[in-house]
Amino acid sequence: MVDRYSRQILFPGIGKKGQEKLGNSSVVIIGCGALGTIIATTLVRAGVGKVRIIDRDFIEYHNLQRQVIFDEDDIKDQLPKAIAAERHLKRVNSSVKIEGIVADVNYTNIEKFIRNTDLVLDGLDNFETRFLINDASLKHGIPWVYGGAISSLGMTMTIIPHETPCFRCFCAAMPNLQVVPTCDTAGVIGPAPFIIGSLQATEAIKILVEAKKQINRNLISIDVWKGAFYSIEISPRPDCPACHGEYEFLEGKFGVKTTSLCGQNAVQVLSPKVGELSFKELAARLEAVGKVTYNEFMLHFEIDSQEMVIFPDGRAIIKNTTDESLARGLYAKYIGA
């Protein structure tokens, strides 16, 4: 395996010792869109020992422009992102333990997902879960790397618990979601997330090989269209709740919502009552009224202009609507309340 990594072992910042440390490390990537795919492919190729990839979504054609490890076959095979990522990356590096998990990360499960890992990487498209990662990482003393990209812009920041300012020091409260542009409203060009994801992966490698002095302590902000790079110093906020051990997001103060997915014309419905679904039984029932296809990972159902994707844990994504009550209604009607 030395040969596989020979070029990065030659790099003095890593060397043989660094390579060994990478091999003994484990990371969690939360969100596997443009940022997540770049981070995942970089770290799997670099030989990080264990890579866990968590994502709640499936792949659509408009993802392929920037989500670099997916292809048209994944869409035809109806694969969730986490499963497609695991399959592709296992072919890239079979010595890495890769685990794809299809799930919505929220306050009830995040601690289970990040326990016993060395580092968490943010490949998300929403602020709520970032605040949650921040709380969980501070509580458990696990470093994490924030990243976000939209349009031609991107930002990243490394958070080392109790050493650097945290994400809530930088971003005090949840932004008003009505005014936050998303990839689906403002668009995005590939190079913005490619650069931010690459910077996040670089931070990850530095943290894992313990190149402490090299870790970036500033917020990096870029505009690839302008060719502009900024490094901005963030100060710790004296009244930051997370830095004072108040983990409001992790404690579920804001609950788990039926969330409209980041500007997508879709709503996610969580139904803890359902539990494990039998796709076979559900398909038999739904086939009477609409078009159904399914595999072991997800069930796709179409009726009139409505479309929904259902996962084995009972979670559903209702497409072509942003109306949460309509989505809940459709869920109750076809899957069960």
Q: Which residues pair with 202 in a beta bridge?
A: none
Side chain identity, residue 49: G
Length of the chain in terms of residues written: 337
Helices of type H across the chain: 6-9, 15-23, 34-46, 72-76, 81-92, 110-114, 127-140, 167-170, 183-186, 191-208, 279-286, 324-334
CA distance readout (Å), 294 to 129, 167, 266, 283? 29, 39, 19, 8
Helices 191-208, 15-23: crossing angle, 10 deg rounding: 100
Look-up of token digits 């039984």: 281
Q: C-beta of 159: minimal distance to Zn ion in Å?
A: 8
Q: Which is nearer to Zn ion, 240 or 282 (CB)?
A: 240
Q: C-beta of 157: minimal distance to Zn ion in Å?
A: 11
Q: Which is nearer to Zn ion, 109 or 218 (CB)?
A: 218
Q: C-beta of 250: minimal distance to Zn ion in Å?
A: 14
Number of residues that bind Zn ion (CB under 5 A): 6
Q: Which is nearer to Zn ion, 51 or 155 (CB)?
A: 155
Q: C-beta of 139: minimal distance to Zn ion in Å?
A: 12
Q: C-beta of 108: minimal distance to Zn ion in Å?
A: 23
Q: Which is nearer to Zn ion, 243 or 267 (CB)?
A: 243
Cα–Cα dist 227/225, whole Å: 5
Per-residue interface string for the shown chain with Zn ion, residues 132-171, x marking contact by CB under 5 A? ----------------------------------x-xx--
Cα–Cα dist 127/261, whole Å: 12
Q: C-beta of 244: minimal distance to Zn ion in Å?
A: 8
Per-residue interface string for the shown chain with Zn ion, residues 223-252, x marking contact by CB under 5 A? -----------------x-xx---------
Q: Which of residues 249-308 bind Zn ion (CB under 5 A)?
A: none
Q: Which is nearer to Zn ion, 183 or 240 (CB)?
A: 240
Look up residue 56 and give its two tokens: 């709640």
Contacts with Zn ion by CB under 5 A lie at: 166, 168-169, 240, 242-243
